[in-house]
Amino acid sequence: MISFNTKDLSAVTEAIKKTGKLFLTGEGSSRIFPAKNAINVAQKYALPITIYTEGSRQSAELDLSEYVLFGASNSGKTKELIALFNSRPAAKKYALTAFQGTPLGKLSDDEFILNCGKEEAVAATKSVIEQALFYQKLLYDLMGKEFSKEMLNSLADLSQQVLEMAIDPEITTLIKNAPIIYFAGRNVGVAEEATLKTNEITRKKSAYLEGTYAVHGIEEVMEAGETVILVDPYPEEEAKFKEVLVDGVGLNVIAISSRKTIFPTIEIPALEGFDHYLQLQACWNVLIEVGIAAGVDLDKPERARKVGNEFIL
Instruction: Kindly list the averaged pLDDT for each block of 10 residues, start to end, along the chain of length 313.
Output: 76 98 96 98 97 97 98 94 96 95 96 79 76 97 92 95 96 96 98 94 94 95 97 97 97 98 98 97 96 83 55 49
- The CB density around residue 53, as the number of other CB atoms within 10 Å, is 20
Q: Measured at the alpha carbon of residue 297, what is the angle toward residues 226 and 305, in degrees to the nearest 5?
A: 90
Which CA distances in Å does 91 have to 49, 85, 109, 110, 134? 15, 12, 10, 13, 20
The radius of gyration of the chain's CA atoms, rounded to the nearest angstrom, is 20
Domain ranges in the chain are 10-147, 153-293
Domains 10-147 and 153-293 equal at CATH topology level: yes
Name the CA dihedral angle for 109, 112, 118, 123, rounded to a multiple of 10 degrees.
-90
CA 249 to chain CA mean position, Å: 29
What does pTM read for this prediction?
0.93
Residue 243 identity (one-letter amino acid): E
CATH, range 10-147: 3.40.50.10490
DSSP, collapsed to helix, strand or coil, labels residue 25 as strand
Q: Measured at the alpha carbon of residue 136, what is the angle toward residues 130 and 138, in degrees to the nearest 5?
A: 105
Q: What is the DSSP letter of 5?
A: -
What CATH fold (topology level) applies to the domain 153-293?
Answer: Rossmann fold (3.40.50)
Give the pLDDT of residue 305: 46
- With beta carbons less than 8 A apart as the criterion, state whether 81 and 104 touch: yes
Query: What's the number of CA atoms in the CB half-sphere (13 Å) around residue 230?
Result: 32
